[in-house]
Amino acid sequence: AVMEKNVFQHPDVRALGAHVTFLQLDMTANEAEHTAYLQAAGLFGPPAMLFFRADGREHQSLRVQGELNAQQFAGRVRALL
C-alpha cells in the first residue's frame, strides 16, 4: 500500500504513464502460481519491480527487489525510455 500511495500516485510517476504501461501483480494470496512466477523470475518475494523494453525483454539492470521512493522509481522508468 505504501508504493501505491506514495509512489504510483506521485505526479512525476503519473506523467510517465503516458509513455509506458504499468502492470502490478497482486501476490498477497501466496498461491502456487505466485511461487512459481517468483522462482521463474529469480525473485525471493515481493515487492519487486521489473522493467521491460518494448520488445518484451527485461532491462535487468533496472530490476529492484524492495521498495523505492517516487524519484527513484521515476528515474528507473526514464532510464528505460
| pLDDT mean over 55-59 | 94
C-alpha to C-alpha distance for 3 and 67, rounded to whole angstroms: 7
Does the structure show a pLDDT above 90 at 2? no
> Which grid coordinates belong to 7?
509512489
Does the structure show a pLDDT above 90 at 1? no
**The whole model's pTM is what?**
0.84
According to the model, what pLDDT value does residue 15 have?
95
